[in-house]
Structure 1
Amino acid sequence: MKKPNRNVVIRYNISQNGKEGLYFCGFDSCKEAENIHIYNTPHYTRKGLKVSVFPEGRTPINTLFENNISNFEDEASWGKGGRKGINTRYNNNLYYGIEPHPPDKNPMAENPRFRNPGRAGSDIDLTTLKELRGYRVSSRSPVLGAGAVIANDGGMDVFRTKLSGKKPIVGAVAY
């Protein structure tokens, strides 16, 4: 039997072209997840995938989604369980190509202006992360300085750039 997820932090990741869905956390039959915090993670999906954020049979449970980017170039849906959630909160996320999640306290619905998304491939050099540079944003991006302050945010973005904490970003890459 699997142990329940408790006190989980998922931060500063980059998700590209998730074909089956974006989040596989939470199960309708197992409501024991506790204190899950997912933040500063951009999700990008190319045209032709028609993704459900929460695939069939998945419902977010006891989770806070904050400062994330959902960028869909084609049809996307929240999924059957994703619209409701169980004790799940959303704050300060950017939505492009999908309607903002209704309970989000500070939703943004505009293009995040990634420089060159969708080109990372599957063979990423973990010492340089150069394949992920397309997820940097332009100087006109609405995510710059628009993030909610998160205590104990790890201090670095996905490229190991030190975070100032004064004007946080939405997404995984400090400008």
Structure 2
Amino acid sequence: MHSMHSIRNTSAHRGVEATHPGTPLELAALRTATQDPYLRYARALLPEVQAHEALYEAFSTLRASFEAALASPDIRRYAWRTLRTAVTTRASRDTDGTLLLPPRPTAARHDQGSRTPSPQLLRLIGTLPEAQLDVFVLRHLCALTPEETGQVLGEPLSATRSAERHALRLLIESAFRTS
């Protein structure tokens, strides 16, 4: 795990504080609540340095557009879309546009140790529709609970559970088609 000192010393962050002076209190609170799951998500799709760069870009963009974020129907959803854009624009893609997730151990859950998904599973995950991919990555690669996932995405728990069910169904169907 990187400390804030090491994050600030990466080339993209040298000399830039995590929270700028004059940052609105609401944005500082949002950052505190979401920084860990956002970074976990970014790490699931990007190499380490790019994950930190995406997180930095997302919060810089949010700071610059904070009035629009506050005016949006759900600030968490607005913030998630900002983070997702920063991550997916950096993500590797196959020639067909499929996201290519880097092979790395998943975050450990309390009931299991960390595991590394197979390259075949990572490829299938990369084919999921956007909402299902986000829920699946947060739930199964980042080890968030359904409730935490809904909070991070700014979505109701029912929508999170539904997206997860659909993602699992699509992955199972795809696995049988490709084997």
| Range into which the TM-score falls when normalised by the shorter chain | under 0.3
Structure with greater proportional strand content: 1
TM-score, length basis structure 2 = 0.24
